[in-house]
A = this chain, B = another copy of it.
């Protein structure tokens, strides 16, 4: 019989969570996990960034198709991606774990390994936690970051005439999910690219692609200024991974739809004024491939900014 959370008790679970914290140190952490609150020294003169996100069993992941280590890695990657989209760097995170007593200890250990791996890679230590019983497992993370004032990206700021660009490629996670097989891919939050972008002048708005290009572009346009905005996208320019179209066709899937509507790629989607550097120069400065995929227009009366919704939760 595998050992289960019910066998090791609440304090056994807490001890395992605390091990994540022990394995990654943070310069800003004065008092880490284990007290009523963590104590951080925020970098002087900088702004504090805060974002929260949850992964829920059978909604965002299934144990049948995702290894526990992947669930752990994706949980932190998704949160770090929100920091990336603001141009921030990580200071630390807190974890609220809810799980049934029947969850195997090995599963918790896998999740903890995944969280630790991402925490180490992005220098984002666990500074606090909470453990509770629940019917289904969920991981709710709140990530803290820092950025210098004036070096913060937001969703707002897009105008008519702006160019639309995206980092990396889109659709790989959606393809894995649509195939119904194991989900192995853990997108990289674009922390360094976001920070580099925040140093550039002539940026409009920025968002990370979590709900899908179409839906997140809709958020970016809705937060823009100068009247209702729309976008002209050049479908053929939307960057997809090597071999993506052939893999989609083999699986009987529509590659254009997956690239447009598939979520969780965690690439940065942003707008730039026309006079900003070209995509090739941005690729150099951001350290990741950057592709220009369209431009912002004025929305025609009676037309929608973006045609199809992404994944909605209710």
What residues make up the interface of A, taking CB atoms closer than 8 Å to B? Answer: 5-6, 8-13, 30-31, 34-42, 44-45, 47-54, 56, 58-60, 82-83, 85-86, 88, 92, 94-96, 98, 101, 127-136, 138, 140, 142-145, 147, 152, 154-156, 207-208, 223, 312-314
Given known A12-B314, A56-B133, A313-B132, contact A37–B145 (CB-CB < 8 A): yes
**Which residues of the other chain, B, contact A11 by a CB distance below 8 angstroms?**
312
Copies per complex?
A: 2
**Residue in B8, B34, B39 whose beta carbon sits within 8 Å of that of A314 in the complex:** B8
Given the interface pairs A10-B314, A94-B142, the reply to whether A49 lies near B56 with Cβ below 8 Å is no
Q: How far is the CA of A34 from the CA of B85 in the complex (A)?
A: 13
A313–B138 touching, CB < 8 Å: no
- CB neighbours (8 Å) of A10 from chain B are 312-314
Closest CB in chain B relative to A250 CB, distance in Å: 32
Q: Quick one: which of A40, A47, A136, A208 has the most chain B CB within 10 A?
A: A47
Q: CB distance A47 to B39 under 8 Å?
A: yes
| Complex contact B56–A134 (CB within 8 A) | yes
Contact of A52 among B56, B128, B152, B155 (CB under 8 A): B128
Q: Which chain B positions have C-beta within 8 A of A48?
A: 39-42, 48, 144
Are A132 and B38 in touch, CB under 8 angstroms?
Answer: no
CB-CB < 8 A to A39: which residues of B?
A: 47-49, 86, 147, 152
List, sorted by A's number, 7 A–B pairs whose CB atoms are closer than 8 Å.
A34-B223, A35-B223, A40-B48, A51-B94, A52-B96, A56-B132, A134-B138
Q: Give complex CA distance A35, B158 in Å.
A: 14
> Which of A132, A136, A143 is the most central at the interface, judged by chain B CB atoms within 10 Å of its CB?
A132
From B6, B51, B127, B133, contact of A50 by CB (8 A): B127
Kindly state the separation between the CA atoms of A156 and B35 in the bound complex, as whole angstroms. 9
Give the residue name and chain of the B residue nearest to A60 (CB): B132
With both chains docked as a complex, state the minimum distance between the C-beta of A21 and any C-beta of chain B, in angstroms: 13
State in angstroms the CA–CA spacing of A56 and B50 once bound together: 23
Given contacts A41-B48, A52-B94, A94-B51, contact A36 B82 (CB under 8 A): yes
Q: Which residues of B contact A88 (CB under 8 A)?
A: 37
In the complex the two chains form, is A59's CB within 8 Å of B132's CB? yes
Closest to A97 in B: B54
The complex places the Cα of A186 from the Cα of B299 at a distance, in Å, of 49
Task: Report yes or no: A50 in contact with B37, Cβ–Cβ below 8 A.
Answer: yes
CB pair B53 A101 closer than 8 Å:
no
A9→B140 contact, CB < 8 A: no
With contacts A36-B86, A96-B53, A142-B52 taken as known, whether A312 is within 8 angstroms of B132 at the C-beta atoms is no
